[in-house]
Structure 1
Amino acid sequence: MTKTRLNRAAGLRWPVEECFEFSKDYFGLDQCQARLYTAIARHTVLVMAALAVCAVTAAHLRDRTDSQAPPPSTSDQPPPPEPGLILLTVHKVKRLLADALHHPMPPGHATRWLTWRRRHQARAR
């Protein structure tokens, strides 16, 4: 096996490792305390299904939610007056779904909060 091929294989593995870390941090992939194979398999399938639903939703909404203004190209240019909104991420979609399903809030509260936060993050960039 050549070094080039080994480096390519290591490079292909990196996104997989990032995905596992993300699913452990935000979706609780590592939170299962079951001892039976069936229970562990069910937990893994449910976590991966939740991650897939949120990832597909974020990807589907990508074109509709990217309204961020381009950043200044030089340091002497002023920032845009309205920075727009950053993209919806998988974590933000998960939070919206969790808020909609578990917390009885006034209608539109979660979306107003998310819009404020995305605008705030766009300004910070």
Structure 2
Amino acid sequence: MLIRRNRSTGELAYYRCYSPTPVPLTALVRVAGARWRVEEFLQSGKGLAALDEHQVRRYPSWSRWVTLAMPAHAFLAAVRADEHARQPAPDGLIPLTCNEIQRLFITLVVQPVHDAAHRPGWSSRRRRHQARSQAAHYRRQATQA
């Protein structure tokens, strides 16, 4: 049994672990962390790529939907990774997130608006605000710890 405690809320998460041979605690923690990353990826796919928007009635239609949703999510993740590797974010902005890339892609490519120059400026203002919020959150966490 592996128990994880959330530092901020004190909530406990339990993991039932089994191995036919003895395993060090670090390996169990690594596996539990991998499970969390998989769950985060699925939650992200639901929100960004509409993975949960299909009414499953038959396998072929579900398979087609997932086949479209997963590459869309992979596209967003690849663009984000490329953006982070290529250039650092300008001063006062957080790096582009998958959500922000999705908004920009939909606005500029899928549903072009008359004033396309407005959207990148709006994105910069939003990311600057998010950077300030993130810094304030980290300061608050540091003072509580």
Query: 1:85 corresponds to which letter in structure 2?
Result: L
Distance 1:95 1:48 in 2: 17
- Structure with the bigger RCO (C-alpha within 8 Å, sep 6+) is 1
RMSD: 1.8
Is the CA contact 1:58–1:88 (under 8 Å) kept in the aligned structure 2?
yes
Asked if the contact 1:65/1:86 (under 8 Å) is kept, the reply is no
SS at match of 1:117: helix
Q: What CA distance in whole angstroms lies between the structure 1 residues aligned with 2:83 and 2:76?
A: 11
Q: Which runs of 5+ in 1 are unaligned?
A: 69-83
Cα deviation for residue 7 of structure 1 reads: 4.0
1:74 alignment partner in structure 2: none
> Aligned equivalents of 1:30 and 1:107: distance in 2?
30
Q: Point out where structure 2 has 5 or more consecutive residues left out of the alignment.
A: 1-18, 136-145
Report the equivalent of 1:53. Answer: 75
- Distance in 2, Cα, partners of 1:114 & 1:9: 36
Higher mean alpha-carbon deviation, 25-34 vs 12-21, is at 25-34
Q: Aligned partners of 1:7 and 1:56: how far apart in 2?
A: 27
Q: Tell me whether 1:93 sits opposite 2:101 in the alignment.
A: yes
Match of 2:127 among 97, 102, 118: 118
> TM-score, normalised to structure 2's length?
0.67
Instruction: Tell me: CA distance 1:65–1:105, structure 2 relative to 1, closer, same or farther (3 Å).
Output: farther
- Which protein has the bigger strand share? 2
Aligned length: 110
CA contact (8 A) 1:65 1:88 kept: no
From 115, 130, 133, the equivalent of 1:106 is 115
Q: Percent identity?
A: 35
